[in-house]
Amino acid sequence: MPFERSYLFLDTNVYVQEAYRFRGTSLGKLSDLSRDDELRLVVPEVTRREVASRLREAAEEHVLKIEAALYSKIVGLMSKTDMKQLGLDIELDREAVVNRVAGTWDSYCDACNAESIPIASIDLPEVLASYFEVKPPFEKGRKRHEFPDGFAVSSLRAFASENTGRPIYVVSKDKGLLAAFGDDSRFRCHKELSEIFDEYNRHTEALSPSAHKLVEDNAEWIADAVADHLAANPHLYASEYRENRIHIESATVDIEDVNLVEIGLGRAVFDIGVSYYVDAEVMDMVRVAYDDYDWDVVSRRFSGQITAYVEIISNDSFTELLEIASVEV
């Protein structure tokens, strides 16, 4: 199944498995994709609270271990002077450390520009019916422990009904939770976050030839955009003239080289080498007599080679150029 711009829900056990490493690794990659709206993270309020609670508990456990190490008999063999030199003469503010660690979860959600699903979206009668009828995510023998999952499932179903434009990926190691979405075509279930990244990478790599062809087919449009950028920014090639002493008459570029440096769903950034030709009138000192100079307006052509980073926006299959989002030189 081809990858498309989607929503993504991660069960609490995924954050635990990733050891809450919100920078780098898989969760860090997700924050980039979610911020760019390619794989937007959705977080039901019940999941947000559950992750916050688990992270706080983990932080408290680690702070106790740090304190135990600092005040151990082995460390205590050193003199206070030695401890001070080694930075070990400290008293931890346990609550401050825990709060700082716990705050990384909210910061991560903000960095992802995550969609929050309020508790009010939960269909409580539906959750209770699943509980008493032992339907997923509830299972025999451990029903009461599945209520957070039941609330999350209900929230996601409500969210899917209100946001019909995209499928929702669900990642969890809980078979019961995955089974709750098994027959719903709006959801795509996986056990590992890496499986989704694999789908995404395979899809975007396969789109590279299409993205290159799109640039070739729209070379004139892209060249004009780069030329307009050069015309609007003469300091890039004529820094010796102040803005009030130069008037650009025309700017043209020839595309010499195209390299794809970044690609996503409906978005790509190209490193484009160009030759440029800018005709302008400039206020400059000119000789009016043998040893006399004065200000005058003269024509001048600026030319050379330059590299432009061009960000394009297209449809997901890179068959139609919708917008040139930015040009940087």
pLDDT the model gives residue 143: 56
- Residue 58 in domain: yes
Q: Per the structure, how many domains does the chain have?
A: 2
pLDDT reported for residue 104: 94
Name the residue range of residue 236's domain.
204-328
pLDDT value at position 1? 58
208 in the same domain as 175: no
Domain finish residue from 163, 191, 219: 191
Same domain, 225 and 142: no
Same domain (yes/no): 47, 104: yes
For 228, 240, 282, the CA distances from 298, given in Å and listed in that order, are 22, 15, 5
Does residue 198 belong to any structural domain of this protein?
no
Looking at the fold, whether 137 and 166 belong to one and the same domain comes out as yes
- For 320, other C-beta atoms within 10 Å of its C-beta total 12
197 within a domain of the structure (yes/no): no
| Whether residues 220 and 125 fall in one domain | no
> 161 and 208, same structural domain?
no
Q: What is the pLDDT along the chain (329 residues), one digit of tens a residue?
A: 567 788 999 999 999 988 898 887 788 888 888 888 888 999 999 999 999 999 999 999 988 888 787 777 777 777 878 777 777 777 778 888 899 999 999 999 999 999 999 988 777 788 777 767 667 776 776 655 678 888 989 999 999 999 988 899 999 988 888 998 888 899 999 988 888 888 887 888 888 999 999 999 999 999 999 999 999 999 888 888 877 788 999 999 999 989 888 888 888 899 899 999 999 998 776 665 566 666 678 888 999 998 899 999 998 889 999 999 999 98
Are 157 and 23 found together in one domain? yes
Co-location of 269 and 132 in the same domain? no
Considering the domain architecture, whether residues 115 and 166 belong to the same structural domain is answered as yes
Q: With respect to residue 29, please indicate whether it lies within any of the assigned structural domains.
A: yes
- What residues contact 85, with CB distance under 8 A and at least 6 apart? none
Same domain, 309 and 245: yes
45 and 187 share one domain: yes
- Do residue 43 and residue 180 come from a single domain? yes
Last residue of some domain: 191, 217, 233? 191
Spatial CB neighbours of 248, under 8 Å, sequence gap ≥ 6: 231, 234, 278, 279, 280
In angstroms, the CA 167 to CA 198 distance is 17
Which pLDDT does position 289 carry in this prediction? 56
pLDDT score at 124: 79
210-229 burial, b for 16+ CB within 10 Å, e for fewer?
ebbebbeebeeebbebbbeb
Q: Is residue 316 part of a domain?
A: yes
First to last CA, the chain: 38
Report yes or no on 196 lying in a domain: no
* pLDDT value of residue 249: 93
* Continuous segment of H or E residues that includes residue 2: none
Q: Which of 167, 191, 215 is the last residue of a domain?
A: 191
Task: Please tell me the predicted confidence (pLDDT) of residue 105.
Answer: 95
